[in-house]
A and B are shown apart, each in its own frame.
Chain A
Amino acid sequence: MAAPWRGPGANDVSSAAALLSVADLSIRFGGVVALDGVSFEVAAGKICGLIGPNGAGKTTLFNCLSRLYNPQRGEIRFDGRSLNGVARRRIAELGVGRTFQNLALFGTMTVLENVMIGTHAIAAGGFIVNGIGLPFARHQERIIRERALALLEEFSLVDVAKARASDLPFGTRKRVELARALALEPKLLLLDEPAAGLSHEEVDALRAEIQAIRDRRGVTILLVEHHMNLVMRISDQVVALDFGRVIADGSPAEVRANRDVIRAYLGEAA
């Protein structure tokens, strides 16, 4: 029984307007230029694939979006406001959920608790309210639990609800991360290589899952993935990065046919 939630993004009247716009984003680490004047836009409710060879700067872009990195130049605008200077911990509250390429679950917590903490940014009450256990806090706790349980059901995690996150196989942990990111009903979902390490059948299931997430919640998705088949079939728009620069931006068919993209990938293979 997946509750028919509608993320805030779904109710946007102006769904054609860009939810996310990245302008001239640049960051370097010592001598390495990880992002070099990156600009693109993503419209609300769309799935945008972000591709590029290893080291192209995809994860770095995500980390700028999460404010884990501070870009040296340029601006990210999300939902009508600039993210420059916004505190890291406020990003979730603004409606950005993400998963991590190398997984960042809370290892000693159960699967259920991991998903429950996904609501942290949109729940209220500090030490005193929760320590005394005011009715408000208890009520909120029930809501959070119920929402987390619905997500566990949606992602077939009910059987492992009480298991410690660190005890689970890789593929299961990735699903837990996805459920955790959705717990706050984000407007924008950042997925960093969700298909990595998955079997063929699992990738097919993942494709259906991602599509369902967008269709049911109206959430905008930015998808970093090396699995070309998945990206090209699922995306409304594809942005290709190479050495920190945007080399193509368009429909999957356009990007697939782009000379620079072909060269970047063939060059890497050679």
Chain B
Amino acid sequence: MLNLELASSAEATSGAGFNARRAAMVVLGLIVVGLPFGLSGFRVFQLSQVIIYAIALLGLNLLTGFNGQISLGHGAFFAIGGYSMAILSAKFGVSYWFAIPVAGFLCFGAGFLFGFPALRLGGLYLALATFALALAVPQLLKFKPFDPWTGGVQGLLLSKPAAPLGLPLTRDQWLYFLCLLGAALLFWFSSNLVKSRIGRAMIAIRDHPIAAETMGVDLALVKTTTFGLSAAYVGVAGALSGLTVGFVNPDSFGLFLSLSIVVGIVVGGLGSIWGMVVGALFIEFVPNYADQISDVLGEGAKALPWAIYGVLLILIMYAAPEGAAGAGRSLARHGRRFLPRRESPSRGT
């Protein structure tokens, strides 16, 4: 076992850079908390969607970006999360405080189990197997014998919860903060995790599985648990989505959702944590903007929004091949080069 005696106590790496960073975080936090008070109900709803997507993207990125396992079927776990939420609250009257974690645990179980066949499938084969999952789940949700539970093609309705404790918030505002709370917890957990020995093991498996095993990494355990964790994140996102939208139906969890999540992690940056916020903004807003652009182009452009979306996507991949996170990194590098050095007294201009 590792001897846990610390030889030197060289701790406390605080400095000016650290404080500036902390200040920036505080300002950002204030903006994020203040946003729902200055926006319309619909905009607040959209921002909740962004937060939900960010959680789902982070979930898939743990699996694909950090651990190197591709999934084209995470929409299925989003569906399981959403339906767990809806069934628990609509059929059993369970509180959402309870239903959301339950949705997460159910999806952890489903993902963990799916992780075992995934161990035997690499690369493209895993992509195909998960693709099948994405195709199957919406159909299963429409399957007649399940109707009493799933509500069939219609789906299920949920009532949007009001703010507790008499907080002076609209329902949309309260849901925004609920999503924010969930995201804060899950982002915190992930950023701890990826910096730890488990995070290193996840990345090591992606980079060189045999060497990882030689280091003592339990390949099967880390891969299946990562699959479960990833599914749990997406399940929580699905549950929050069901609650925020107010209903679930099979067609909202189809292949398109699965692929959007993949697009989101690539745009945000594979193996990045905070890049997922950018990826989420992209998949929430860019389809709308593509729609508006195609409207401007006129009558003959009815079929164009997705072509425009595609072009935008290609342009972004060309400009930032490593996603938002990669672009951020190289911007920081270049910025440092062009900014005046601290010592040089360059004022004015």
Show the binding face of A for B, using Cβ within 8 Å: 3, 66, 68, 88-93, 98, 100, 104-109, 113, 116-127, 130-133, 137, 139-144, 146, 180, 184
Q: Are B4 and A121 in contact (CB under 8 A)?
A: no
Q: Are A139 and B215 in contact (CB under 8 A)?
A: no
Nearest first, the 6 A-B pairs at minimum CB distance are A121-B216, A130-B196, A104-B211, A92-B216, A106-B207, A133-B192
Q: Which of B86-94, B198-206, B276-284 contacts A (4 or more CB under 8 A)?
A: B198-206
Cα of A105 to Cα of B219 in the assembled complex, Å: 17
Give bound CA distance, A92 to B255, whole Å: 43
A-B contact pairs, 19 of them (CB 8 A): A66-B214, A89-B213, A89-B219, A106-B211, A109-B204, A117-B215, A124-B2, A127-B193, A130-B192, A130-B198, A130-B199, A131-B189, A131-B193, A133-B192, A140-B197, A142-B11, A143-B4, A144-B197, A146-B8
| Contact call B2/A143, Cβ cutoff below 8 A | yes
| Contact among B1, B198, B271 with A127 in the assembled complex (CB-CB below 8 Å) | B198
Chain B residues 1 to 53 lying within 8 A of chain A, measured CB to CB, are 1-8, 10-11
Closest Cβ–Cβ distance, residue A187 to chain B (whole Å): 14
Measured between beta carbons, the chain B residues less than 8 angstroms from A143 are 2-6
Specify which of A90, A119, A126, A142 lies most central, judged by the most chain B CB atoms within 10 Å of its CB: A126
B295 within 8 A of A: no
Q: A89-B213, A90-B216 are in contact. Are A119 and B192 (CB under 8 A)?
A: no
Pick from B5, B11, B203, B215: contact of A121, CB below 8 A.
B215
Given contacts A89-B217, A109-B200, A127-B225, contact A122 B2 (CB under 8 A): yes
CB neighbours of B201 from chain A (8 A): 117, 120
- Interface SS of chain A: helix, strand, loop or mixed? helix
Chain B residues contacting A108 (CB-CB under 8 Å) are: 203, 206-207, 271
List the A side residues contacting B195 at CB < 8 Å. 141
Cβ-defined contact, A120 with B216, below 8 A:
yes
B85 contacts the other chain (CB 8 A): no
Inter-chain contacts of A91 with B (CB < 8 A): 214, 216
What residues of chain A lie closer than 8 Å to B7, measured between beta carbons? 3, 146
Interface residues of B (CB under 8 A from A): 1-8, 10-11, 189-190, 192-193, 195-201, 203-204, 206-208, 210-219, 225, 229, 271
Other A-B pairs, 19, CB within 8 Å; known A92-B215, A119-B197, A143-B4: A3-B7, A92-B214, A104-B211, A107-B208, A108-B203, A108-B206, A108-B271, A109-B203, A117-B200, A122-B2, A123-B197, A125-B197, A126-B198, A126-B225, A131-B196, A139-B6, A140-B2, A144-B197, A146-B8
Given A89-B219, A137-B196, CB of A123 within 8 Å of CB of B214 = no
The answer for the CA separation of A14 and B270 in the assembled complex, in Å, is: 51
- A113–B10 CA distance with the chains assembled, in angstroms: 19
Which of chain A's residues has its CB closest to B1's CB?
A: A122
Contacts of A184 in B (CB 8 A): 216
A104:B214 contact, CB within 8 angstroms: yes
Chain B positions within 8 Å of A104 at CB level: 208, 210-211, 214
| Cα–Cα, bound, A126→B218 (Å) | 11
Residues of B within 8 A of A3 (CB): 7
Q: Which residue of B lies closest to A109 (CB)?
A: B203
Q: Which residues of B contact A132 (CB under 8 A)?
A: 189, 192
Most buried by A among B5, B10, B204, B216: B216
Q: Closest Cβ of chain B: how far from A71's Cβ, in Å?
A: 17
Q: In the bound complex, do residue B196 and residue A141 qualify as a contact, i.e. CB atoms below 8 Å apart?
A: yes
Taken together as a complex, chains A and B put the C-alpha atoms of A130 and B214 apart, in Å, by 22
Q: How far does the alpha carbon of A88 sit from the alpha carbon of B207 in the complex, in Å?
A: 18
**Shortest distance in angstroms between A142's beta carbon and chain B's nearest beta carbon?**
6
Q: Is the CB of A117 within 8 A of B197?
A: yes
Are A131 and B6 closer than 8 Å at their CB atoms? Answer: no
Whether B210 pairs with A68 at a CB distance below 8 angstroms is yes
Contact A144 B207, beta carbon cutoff 8 Å: no
What residues of chain B lie closer than 8 Å to A68, measured between beta carbons? 210, 214
**Complex alpha-carbon distance, A106 and B217, angstroms:** 13
Interface centre among B2, B11, B212, B225 (most CB of A within 10 A): B2
On chain B, the residues within 8 Å of A141 by CB distance are 195-197
A68 — nearest CB in chain B belongs to which residue?
Answer: B210
Question: Which of B4, B208, B217, B225 has a CB less than 8 Å from the CB of A120?
Answer: B217
A107 close to B207 (CB less than 8 A):
yes
> Of all chain A residues, which has the CB nearest B200?
A117
List of B residues within 8 angstroms of A100 by Cβ:
211
Complex Cα–Cα for A233 and B201 (A): 38
Complex: how many Å from CA A241 to CA B186? 55
By the criterion CB–CB under 8 Å, are A116 and B229 in contact?
no
Least Cβ–Cβ distance between B174 and chain A, in angstroms: 27
The minimal Cβ–Cβ distance linking A10 to chain B, given in whole angstroms, is 14
Contacts of A124 in B (CB 8 A): 1-2
Could you tell me the distance between the alpha carbons of A122 and B6 in the complex, rounded to whole angstroms?
A: 16
Min CB gap B210→A, angstroms: 7
Residues of B within 8 A of A142 (CB): 6, 11
Closest Cβ of chain A to B105, distance in Å, is: 13
Query: Least Cβ distance of A11 to chain B in Å?
Result: 13
On chain B, the residues within 8 Å of A89 by CB distance are 213, 216-219
> Closest Cβ of chain A: how far from B98's Cβ, in Å?
20
B229 x A117 contact (CB < 8 A): no
- Which of chain A's residues have a CB closer than 8 A to the CB of B198? 125-127, 130-131
A-side contacts of B229, CB under 8 Å: 127
| Residues from chain A with Cβ under 8 Å of B200 in the complex | 109, 113, 116-117, 120
